[in-house]
Chain A
Amino acid sequence: MQAIGLSFIDWVIIAIYFGFVLGIGLYLRRYTLSHNDFFLAGRKNSSWVAGLAFLSANLGALELLGMTGNTFKYGMYVAHFYWIGAIPAMLFLGIYMMPFYYSSKINSVPGYLKLRFDERTRVLNGIAFAIMTLLVSGINLYAMALVLHTFLGWNWDLSMWASAITVAVYVSMSGLMSAIFTEIVQFFLIWFGLFLVSILGVMEFGSLGAIIARINEFSSQVSFTTLWSTSSDPMKNGMVVHWGGIVLGLGFVLSFGYWTTDFLVVQRAFSAKDLRAARMTPILASFFKMALPFLVILAGLIAIALSSDPHSGFKLLQDGGQTNYDSALPLLIARYYPAGLVGLGVTALLAGFMAGQAGNVSAFNTVWTYDIYKSVLNKNASDAHLLWMGRVSTIVGVILSLVTAYWAKSFPSIMDYMQAIFSWVNAPLFATMLLGMFFWWITPAGAFWGLISGMLSSFFLYLAVKFHWFSESIITLSSAQSDMAANFWRAWWAWLICAVVTLLISLVSKRRPKEELVGLVKGLTEENYDKHLPFVKRPEFYALISLAVLVLLNIIFW
């Protein structure tokens, strides 16, 4: 089963990485003197630092392996996750939502819910987010150990504990700042460590066109190499999804729900030095996000093209008779990389796992400390006590992640729940945020009950499909569907139910006075951000360029 063998130099490179991240944590500890330093990295980062961290917090190894594997399974449609499934939401966050988040000087996304609505909505979201973060963190840890065990033959427990302890040590030393530093290091290691796979793959075939031609020759009935041209008939594309599911489920709800409300990524923008830098954070990140398919999707396409040639010697691993799609990227590394480069490739994956872990833990310690501990358990906690609590909750968070990881190990199907967890928390929260930020008459009662309805309905729909209480086609509005298509549609329905309940209850419940909502709601807040700057220096200008590139990419790969 083992796919990659490591030489001495590969081990040296991996050891250097571990020593390096621990050294960064130790170095930064002396600059972490207050709770503001620990939870918000002192609010002094440039838009470049915050932007790369914003992107990297989402760029875990689980995503790299999973999306390359998904490309092998579904084809180029997976690029929608990086383009329509990310860019419009990131630009919307930068242009419209960030001013309300940043200017209200909150420490977390649930903190905005308290200012806009009330304490109970904040605590509800805080608890849901904390649970989601720990589950995702544990699954991330479990997946990492599984990958290292499967592809490198490493001891399952040792690799999990070594990584968890390393993350606990460097995040507890300097909080968000060390998480951001390691995320940016990870960003560069991933590009240098994995982009070479795509380069060598293109070199082997001669050109990108040759790869696409090979795949089309192999699969003439179902398209694996287009983005939209086969989306009107689900039977003609590898993802078996209609364009409606892509636009409404992925492009609107899942994407906006994740990129505009998930504190894991938004926290990085809160660390920016001023409002312009905070607004530029997701906009700059959008350019790098658009480039990622040339690393991830291209590698997946190379794997398809190689598999279609029996003489290539390339074949995905099989687990219990089932194809292990996640093996695509490690097998490409083994195919192309000599000693030394293998160490770099494995380090890039390790860095991705650990940075993803650090991102989850740093978001958890903030939400726990501010939105649960200080909000409910100890309202008069001093700054020094909060800093101490941040460090303690980091270690406790890592321990709970380990518990979740062992739980995941005993129930391997837990991986199925990942997408359900996101649509449970993020999809309805986006409806609450969107309505709350843009309509002053949305009430605290409407937000609270809407959020509960959305979360419960998402959970119910997942169970209903899982246990066949009714046909999946009722959700997906199509007789043909894939798991991915069901995820898109379930998110859409959860969002819609939350929005409708919020609107209806808001019509009959008590509204907050307008004067209390200044600075929190569009229309009640003076909006003159960056108006003193020339247009070419405003975030709006860069957002327009990003949008133009997005349109161009979709046309090229239509």
Chain B
Amino acid sequence: MSEHGMKPIWYFVGLILLVIGVLILLTGIYQLFNPPETKTVLGETHPDIWWGALMSLFGLGMFLKTRKTST
């Protein structure tokens, strides 16, 4: 395999979790102030906010840790 500094898989995992996590978090915050018409079970616990935040943090950690590394 070529040795031109290929990014490790963890970089890509971090990136996609961060992007999708932020989107879910922002959607959750928007829906906090603009509640949707269709309610989901346990929707009052706002899983999109805390799960989106957790996903973003996990993704951010992986992304930052591997940002400057290459295999």
Contacts and interface: CB of A to CB of B under 8 A. Distances in A.
Interface of A: 9, 12-13, 16-17, 20, 24, 27-28, 30-34, 36-37, 41-42, 44, 49, 177, 180-181, 184-185, 188-189, 192, 196, 200, 203-204, 335-341, 343-344, 347
A341 B36 contact: no
Contacts of A204: 41-42
Given A185-B12, A336-B40, A12 B23 contact: yes
A340 B43 CA distance: 13
Contact of A341 (B15, B45, B51): B51
Contact of A336 (B13, B16, B28, B42): B42
Interface residues of B, number: 32
B34 to A, nearest CB: 11
A17 B12 contact: no
Given A12-B23, A189-B17, 16 more contacts: A13-B24, A20-B12, A20-B16, A30-B2, A33-B2, A184-B9, A184-B13, A203-B45, A338-B31, A339-B31, A339-B48, A340-B24, A340-B28, A340-B48, A341-B48, A341-B51
Contact of B47 (A30, A31, A181, A336): A336
B55 A192 contact: yes
A181 B12 CA distance: 8
B28 A338 contact: yes
Contact of A49 (B9, B23, B24, B47): B9
B15 to A, nearest CB: 8
A189 B16 contact: yes
26 contacts: A12-B23, A13-B20, A16-B19, A16-B23, A20-B12, A24-B12, A31-B1, A31-B6, A44-B1, A181-B9, A185-B13, A188-B13, A188-B16, A188-B17, A192-B17, A200-B41, A204-B41, A204-B42, A336-B47, A337-B40, A337-B47, A339-B31, A340-B24, A340-B48, A341-B48, A343-B24
A454 B56 CA distance: 51
A122 B9 CA distance: 33
A347 B55 CA distance: 15
Contacts of A189: 16-17
A180 B9 CA distance: 9
Interface string B1-43: 1101011010011011101110110011001000010001111
Nearest to A187: B13
A34 to B, nearest CB: 8
A49 B52 CA distance: 25
A41 B27 CA distance: 38
Contacts of B27: 9, 338-340
A33 B1 contact: yes
Given A42-B1, A49-B9, A184-B9, A338 B16 contact: no
B41 A335 contact: yes
Nearest to B20: A13
A27 B2 CA distance: 12
Contacts of A335: 40-41
Contacts of B36: 338-339
Contacts of B7: 27
Contacts of A203: 42, 45
B28 A30 contact: no
A24 B9 CA distance: 10
A196 B51 contact: yes
Contacts of A180: 9
A188 B4 CA distance: 27
B38 to A, nearest CB: 8
B12 to A, nearest CB: 6
B9 to A, nearest CB: 5
Nearest to A339: B27
A337 B20 CA distance: 15
A27 B6 CA distance: 9
Across the A-B interface, the 4 shortest Cβ-Cβ residue pairs? A42-B1, A340-B27, A340-B24, A37-B1
Contacts of B51: 192, 196, 341
A55 to B, nearest CB: 14
Contacts of A20: 12, 15-16
B63 to A, nearest CB: 12
Contacts of A9: 23, 27
Contacts of B16: 16-17, 20, 185, 188-189
Contacts of A344: 20, 24
A188 B23 CA distance: 17
Given A203-B42, A340-B27, A344-B24, A196 B47 contact: yes
B60 to A, nearest CB: 14
Contacts of B21: 192
A22 to B, nearest CB: 12
Contact of A31 (B2, B41, B48): B2
B24 A200 contact: no
A347 B20 contact: yes
Contacts of A27: 7
